[in-house]
Structure 1
């Protein structure tokens, strides 16, 4: 298998075969992210892609119904290139049902709604989007490569194509004192076209990121654990999505972990409220995310 530089995938894809079609990140400029700073973006040669598909077909237990494309944003590839990759996957793994990867609304600016419809028919039917926030103010400096209007245009394309997506959301990204506002705006965005999964990540200020520079200059103040819990509660209260949507703050970066389907929204809210009532004040008012319950 060809794996170049850093390799990342969502926790839920832990047992999914990983196929490198790009490495690094074509955008690589998000204010909070340092994941691909050491790896220059490039597109994998199709000969390498094909040999890796063959290896996956021979080394993984069959049937193989799902495959995950690496790395930072494979959906930056042209529609034609993505179709070529899909055709190769189907050639060697005909039972495949889902081809998934990280994607962004930045990627969708160069794809039409008809492109997405064709790609969905080619098994690109469930993608992972770093939504981060639905707050216009935050998006203005987050350097996601698009603004809130372009976010909504991307959603409309996906809705037309009936393309499913998982949304990764960052709690605390609007900064201290603004958590509930961020939660309401993010919920409003997610309610527009519901994802099939909502995954919460706590904002972590990484050395070398623009966000680190902003913090050092006093332009960004980190939220406390208390604010992050309050933000999750506000987000859940404002989400109006189907009951079968998966909601999870189960990632290790989060202080309190809840994971269930939205039909159990009230139970998740109660667990978060209990944490607010029962955790020590020094933990709640700390910015340290090391402890989890």
Structure 2
């Protein structure tokens, strides 16, 4: 075997006296919006030759004097309109955890941002044709709020251009998908999703177009499939357009709202008549969504 030497699909194939492959190279690829591109070569003698990489970009120069278009959605306590927001313009109309975070990021990266509320008011869910709704759809399609942004996107080398990324830290799309059941304190003993699925006295649902809905829609677990079939076919619809609508429905009727954990905790602290049942269904991390392959935005990750 040690005497074998040929060129194959993985390049030059040769072995040393110990049977270890030698005299070979590894191509280093970088994920790009249009696929992958080679940015360097690693040699088996531990030599590394880099051609180019986005990692050597001077981020301060890349983002300086540029405006990031931030697509987001109103959701307390992350992004909220101020009580007197009509007296303000632009970003000054908003407050909340994510707004504070954006200001800190802009200060660190020496750039500015413009908050744009998502047009359809949805977090984002896949459509049968492969497209996406909500913030995810706007991120994929690079929907900008003004003609200026569109012109600047087509000229990434021009100063003051507007780039777009989606603030989905507030979205249950990548949130800690606890899908807790938030219900009124009532006599019906419900302690788990199975208990909820086995009864008909209490309706239950999720935000329409969010990942909690998508989670149940795509689940292969029998209980969650039963719950999805119920929610999908129930009329009138058990899906709601916003967290506020879901909480109001819980308070005013026999309804269980499947909600991600941080929002569940927030609203339970505001209203002692709400309680949480069940445990984690799934876990995912928070993050900031950006267009695939967008150069110069690494530090936003």
Which interval holds the TM-score relative to the shorter structure? under 0.3
With normalisation by structure 1, the TM-score equals 0.26
Name the one with the larger strand percent.
2
Larger relative CO (CA 8 A, sep 6+): 1 or 2?
A: 2
Larger Rg: 2
Name the one with the larger helix percent.
1
With normalisation by structure 2, the TM-score equals 0.25
